[in-house]
Amino acid sequence: MTVIFSKKCELALQAVLYLSVNKDKNFFSASGISEQIKMPKEFIAKILQSLVSHGIVVSKKGKTGGFNINKPLNEIRLIDIVAAVDGLEIFHKCVLGFEGCNVEQPCPLHNKWGKLRDMTYNMLSEETLLDILDKTEEKIKSINPANI
Amino acid sequence: MTVIFSKKCELALQAVLYLSVNKDKNFFSASGISEQIKMPKEFIAKILQSLVSHGIVVSKKGKTGGFNINKPLNEIRLIDIVAAVDGLEIFHKCVLGFEGCNVEQPCPLHNKWGKLRDMTYNMLSEETLLDILDKTEEKIKSINPANI
DNA sequence: TAAAAATCAGATATTTATGTCTGATAAAAC
DNA sequence: GTTTTATCAGACATAAATATCTGATTTTTA
Ligand code: SF4
Ligand code: SF4
């Protein structure tokens, strides 16, 4: 069954990673971010607004306003962003959707899929934004050296 | 990025697994299958028709018509069904979609996601319908003992 | 205090995925 | 040969995901 994550979530991750390398600078406007990650600014704004309501991002209105990360980088895991945008339902759902499943008579995919699904979950939970900051910086810099 | 497989594909897998345990019996009509796997028969029909065009399923018109598996069970892998319905694009795509990626400067997820993606692909490629037939029979029987 | 530049909330629009219908054709049973 | 029952092809309908717009509010700058 279905998704690792949606496009919305992909965007959210990109935006947050982008913000994470600039956390100590000023707030970044939706349009500024949208130039960097090449996505419609209205959509970015919308997504970031929802991350604000989840406490991951903080926003500031007005002329010098924009968005920034709301917590220390070591307190935000990738899975937190996925959870905020897509929810965690996927990580509890089965692959095939046959009815009447029970542990004694799983379908051929139950165990194997379950393992992969858990590994994916763990991968996203393992590291905080701080842990991957170096790699993220490299990446963001390679997109536009002016970013850092 | 995105999907392991779509609902269409989930349904296709269910339908093919159902057919696989009854391969040596007569053709099964879309409505018969839809009763078992609880999905609209028109949708089932549509999906099976596309599997017909991919050579995985064979159909027969007319009064005793319906669908059946077209090849020996050891020649059909789960990935073949996924490929027919959803395509394999997902297994070649990146997670985050940042631009300008190269092997030297991958983003934090590139390697880890790549591994999981490959494992998923391998899992679906590993076994043929024949290999999992026993487990499939158990599962189908548990849904409705009359099925086998 | 007025102008500029940003978020915010919610409505609206577009696109894609999912699901349904209709009429034509084919095969079996009578 | 006629009736029944199935697939088939393609149009159509609905739902969900993605994307855009609009007007209000907030804050800074001048
Ligand atoms: S056995 Fe597991 S994977 Fe298979 S249909 Fe049931 S819950 Fe889903
Ligand atoms: S480094 Fe890899 S995972 Fe990251 S954005 Fe590029 S291709 Fe995708």
Domain locations in chain B? 7-143
Tens of pLDDT, residue by residue, chain A (148 residues)? 345 788 899 999 999 999 998 877 778 999 888 888 888 888 899 999 999 999 999 999 988 888 999 999 999 999 999 999 998 888 887 778 777 676 666 776 788 888 888 898 998 998 899 998 988 888 888 877 666 5
CA of B102 vs chain A CAs: smallest distance (Å): 10
Task: Give the residue from B29, B96, B39 showing the smallest Cα distance to B65.
Answer: B29
> Which runs of consecutive H residues, i.e. helices, occur in chain A?
7-20, 30-37, 41-53, 78-85, 110-126, 133-143
List the beta bridge partners of residue B28. B67
Distance of CA B5 to the CA centre of its chain: 9
Touching check for A13 and chain B: CB below 8 Å? yes
Per-residue pLDDT band for B2 (boundaries 50, 70, 90) equals very low
pTM for the structure as a whole:
0.87
Q: Is the CB of A1 under 6 A from ligand 1?
A: no
**In Å, what is the separation between the CA of A66 and the C1' of D15?**
34
Structure tokens at B100: 């300008």
Q: B7-143 — its CATH code?
A: 1.10.10.10
Classified as helix, coil or strand, B147 is helix
Shortest-distance atom of ligand 2 to CA B98: 5
Q: Is the CB of B1 under 6 A from ligand 2?
A: no
Q: Is the CB of B8 under 6 A from ligand 2?
A: no
